[in-house]
Chains A and B, each alone.
Chain A
Amino acid sequence: MKFKETDIINIVIAGTAGQGVITLKRLIEFAAQKSGIERIFGSEMHGLAQREGAITSHTRYQKKKFKDERKNLQSSLICYADADLFICLEPVEALRRGIFASQKTTFVLNEYDIPGVMITADLEAYPPLDKIVEILKEYSNNVHTINATKICFNSFNSNLLVNIFMLGYAIPTGKLPFIEVEHYEEVIIEWLRNPETNIKALHLGIDEGKKKSESNF
Chain B
Amino acid sequence: MLGNEALVRGCLEAGVSYVSQYPGTPTSDIGEYFHQVLRENPSLNEYLVHQWAVNEAVATSSCAGAAWTGVRTFNPMKHVGLNVASDALSVIALNGPNPGAMVIGVGSDPGSLGSHQEQNERFYSWMLHLPTIEPHTPQECKDWVKLAFDISEKYDLVINIRTSTRSAHSRGYVELEPLKKGKKKGEFIRNIPKFNSLPPHAINNHVRLYERIERLREAIPELGLNKIFPGNNKIGIITSGTPFGYTMEALNQLQLYDVPILKLGMIYPLNYQEITNFIQDLEKIIIIEELEPFLEVKISEIAQIKRLNVEIVGSEYFPKYNEFSTGLVATTLIKIFHKKPNEQLTKALDYFDSYKEIIPSRFPTFCAGCPERATLYSILKATNHLENTVVCGDIGCYVMSFFPPQQCSDLIICMSGGLSAAIGMSTKTDQNVLAMIGDSTFFHTGLSPLAEAIGYNSNILLIIFDNAWTAMTGHQNDVLRYLIEKDFSIEKVCNALGVPWLRVEDSYNPQKLTKSIEEALNAKGLKVIIIKRECGLQAHRYRMQQIRRIESQGKKVQEEVYHITGCQMCHECSRILSCPAIRRVEINGYETMQIDDDRCIRCGVCYQICPNGAIHKSTLNLLGEEVPFQH
Q: Which residues in A have some Cβ–Cβ distance to B below 8 Å?
A: 16-17, 26, 29, 33, 39-54, 68-82, 92-93, 95-96, 98-99, 101-103, 115-127, 131, 135, 138-139, 159
Contact A70 B246 (CB under 8 A): no
Contact of A103 (CB < 8 Å), options: B252, B344, B358, B584: B344
Q: Can you list, as one digit per residue, whether each of B141-184 has a CB less than 8 Å from chain A (1) or not (0)?
A: 00000000000000000000000001101111100000000000
Contact A51 B356 (CB under 8 A): no
B363 adjacent to chain A (CB < 8 Å):
yes
**With a CB–CB cut-off of 8 A, which chain B residues contact A26?**
171
Using A115-B360, A120-B583 as known contacts, list a sample of 19 further A-B pairs with CB atoms less than 8 Å apart, ordered by residue number in A: A33-B173, A43-B169, A46-B114, A48-B114, A51-B364, A51-B366, A51-B397, A52-B364, A76-B170, A79-B253, A79-B330, A92-B360, A98-B352, A116-B361, A117-B574, A120-B578, A120-B584, A121-B575, A127-B360
Chain A nearest CB, measured from B559 CB (Å)? 17
Query: 4 smallest A-B Cβ distances: which pairs?
Result: A75-B245, A80-B327, A76-B170, A81-B348
**With a CB–CB cut-off of 8 A, which chain A residues contact B580?**
52, 116-117, 120
Interface residues of A: mostly helix, strand, loop or mixed?
A: loop
Contact B405 A102 (CB under 8 A): no
**Nearest CB in chain B to that of A124: its residue:** B360
Q: A52-B362, A69-B229 are in contact. Are A40 and B326 (CB under 8 A)?
A: no
Q: Can you list, as one digit per residue, whether each of B389-409 has a CB less than 8 Å from chain A (1) or not (0)?
A: 000000001001000110000
B249 adjacent to chain A (CB < 8 Å):
yes
Contact A139 B362 (CB under 8 A): no
- In Å, the complex CA distance between A131 and B357 comes to 13
- In Å, the complex CA distance between A75 and B358 comes to 30
**Nearest CB in chain B to that of A160: its residue:** B598
**With a CB–CB cut-off of 8 A, which chain B residues contact A45?**
113, 169
Contact B405 A117 (CB under 8 A): yes
**With a CB–CB cut-off of 8 A, which chain B residues contact A75?**
242, 245-246, 248-249, 326
Contact A81 B361 (CB under 8 A): no
Q: A26-B171, A52-B364, A119-B360 are in contact. Are A47 and B575 (CB under 8 A)?
A: no
Contact A80 B349 (CB under 8 A): yes
**With a CB–CB cut-off of 8 A, which chain A residues contact B613?**
none
Chain B nearest CB, measured from A49 CB (Å)? 7
**With a CB–CB cut-off of 8 A, which chain A residues contact B405?**
117-118, 121, 123
Contact B362 A96 (CB under 8 A): yes
**With a CB–CB cut-off of 8 A, which chain B residues contact A82?**
326
Contact of A44 (CB < 8 Å), options: B171, B327, B473: B171
Contact of A81 (CB < 8 Å), options: B229, B344, B356: B344
- In Å, the complex CA distance between A103 and B246 comes to 22
- In Å, the complex CA distance between A79 and B331 comes to 11
Contact B351 A40 (CB under 8 A): no
**Nearest CB in chain B to that of A138: its residue:** B351
Chain B nearest CB, measured from A73 CB (Å)? 8
**With a CB–CB cut-off of 8 A, which chain A residues contact B400?**
51
Contact B172 A40 (CB under 8 A): yes
Contact of B249 (CB < 8 Å), options: A74, A118, A120: A74
Contact of A117 (CB < 8 Å), options: B242, B365, B473: B365
Q: A45-B113, A70-B229 are in contact. Are A81 and B349 (CB under 8 A)?
A: yes
Q: A80-B327, A81-B327 are in contact. Are A44 and B169 (CB under 8 A)?
A: yes
B52 adjacent to chain A (CB < 8 Å):
no
Chain B nearest CB, measured from A45 CB (Å)? 7
Chain B contact residues (Cβ within 8 angstroms of A): what range?
35 or more
**With a CB–CB cut-off of 8 A, which chain B residues contact A33?**
173
Greatest chain A CB density within 10 A among B26, B362, B400 is at: B362
**With a CB–CB cut-off of 8 A, which chain B residues contact A101?**
348, 352
Contact A123 B171 (CB under 8 A): no
Contact of B367 (CB < 8 Å), options: A51, A74, A79: A51
**Nearest CB in chain B to that of A33: its residue:** B173
A-B contact pairs, 9 of them (CB 8 A): A44-B171, A47-B474, A51-B366, A74-B245, A115-B584, A119-B584, A120-B584, A121-B574, A126-B360
**Nearest CB in chain A to that of B173: its residue:** A40
**With a CB–CB cut-off of 8 A, which chain B residues contact A120?**
574, 578, 580, 582-584, 593
Q: A47-B25, A77-B325, A81-B327 are in contact. Are A69 and B248 (CB under 8 A)?
A: yes
**With a CB–CB cut-off of 8 A, which chain B residues contact A138?**
351
**With a CB–CB cut-off of 8 A, which chain B residues contact A126?**
360
Q: Can you list, as one digit per residue, whether each of B232-250 has a CB less than 8 Å from chain A (1) or not (0)?
A: 0000000000101110111
- In Å, the complex CA distance between A152 and B571 comes to 31
- In Å, the complex CA distance between A27 and B366 comes to 28
- In Å, the complex CA distance between A98 and B347 comes to 12
- In Å, the complex CA distance between A92 and B578 comes to 20
Q: Can you list, as one digit per residue, whether each of B319-356 has a CB less than 8 Å from chain A (1) or not (0)?
A: 00000011100100000000000001101110110011
- In Å, the complex CA distance between A16 and B137 comes to 27
Q: Can you list, as one digit per residue, whether each of B1-33 has a CB less than 8 Å from chain A (1) or not (0)?
A: 010000000000000000000000110110000
Q: Can you list, as one digit per residue, whether each of B288-308 has a CB less than 8 Å from chain A (1) or not (0)?
A: 000000000000000000000
- In Å, the complex CA distance between A47 and B109 comes to 12
Greatest chain B CB density within 10 A among A26, A41, A53, A127 is at: A41
**Nearest CB in chain B to that of A158: its residue:** B598
Contact B362 A116 (CB under 8 A): yes
Contact B249 A98 (CB under 8 A): no
Contact A48 B364 (CB under 8 A): yes
